[in-house]
């Protein structure tokens, strides 16, 4: 029967190697740590270990889908965490491309949306109805007391705004 590399002699709190020398377990741990540090500094070796492990795990599709489901459920359930991730992503993009990047995205999106005439007509209709009811103030600098002309008239006369159709 083969003998293990190290046998522990509990009464002496040392380890006896196969050569018969007694070695302190702390010395062995320190040597192991030192070796581990040396190996971990070899980036190519560590990358290869990671690739092999990744390939082995990735080949098990059931395992990968289970990990994805559990991780997705845990992360997506925490709205604050998701908001923080989105905020960090936005900051990273802004720092890399600058604020002009977002302006360009907004401009392109606006052009794209404004091509849909039905959508733009619906937005305009809803805005007009809201103004007629006096729900929405006129933007700063547009003059007046914050109400559109028709809303002023309706308020002054106490009439109800007509919302069905084109009213002058």
Q: For each of the chain's 168 residues, which pLDDT tens digit applies?
A: 444 555 544 444 666 666 777 878 888 888 888 877 777 788 888 888 888 877 777 787 887 777 777 777 766 777 888 888 889 988 888 888 888 888 898 999 889 888 999 989 998 888 888 878 776 666 665 555 555 555 566 666 666 555 544 444
pLDDT score of 75: 67
- Is 81 inside a domain boundary? no
Q: Cα(4)–Cα(28) distance, rounded to whole angstroms?
A: 15
pLDDT score of 118: 92
pLDDT score of 9: 46
- Is 78 inside a domain boundary? no
Domain extent, residue 153, equals 120-161
- Is 66 inside a domain boundary? no
- Is 82 inside a domain boundary? no
Handedness of CA 116, 118, 122, 125 (dihedral sign): positive
- Is 129 inside a domain boundary? yes
Q: Cα(159)–Cα(133) distance, rounded to whole angstroms?
A: 10
- Is 103 inside a domain boundary? no
- Is 108 inside a domain boundary? no
pLDDT score of 149: 59
Which tokens sit at 11?
A: 């009464």
- pTM recorded for the entire structure: 0.28
Is residue 9 helix, strand or coil?
strand
- Is 16 inside a domain boundary? no
Number of domains making up the chain: 1
């Amino acid at each position: 029967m083969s003998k293990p590399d190290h046998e522990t002699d509990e009464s002496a709190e040392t380890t006896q190697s196969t050569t018969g020398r007694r070695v302190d377990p702390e010395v062995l741990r320190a040597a192991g740590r030192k070796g581990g540090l040396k190996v971990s500094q070899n980036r190519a070796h560590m990358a290869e270990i990671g690739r092999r492990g990744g390939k082995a795990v990735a080949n098990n599709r059931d395992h990968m889908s289970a990990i994805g489901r559990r991780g997705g459920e845990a992360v997506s359930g925490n709205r604050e965490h998701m908001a923080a991730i989105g905020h960090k992503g936005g900051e990273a993009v802004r720092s890399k491309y600058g604020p002009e990047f977002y302006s360009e995205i907004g401009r392109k999106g606006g052009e794209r949306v404004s091509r849909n005439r039905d959508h733009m007509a619906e937005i305009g209709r809803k805005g007009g109805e809201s103004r007629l009811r006096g729900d929405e103030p006129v933007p700063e600098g547009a003059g007046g007391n914050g109400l559109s002309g028709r809303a002023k008239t309706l308020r002054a006369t106490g009439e109800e705004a007509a919302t069905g159709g084109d009213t002058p």
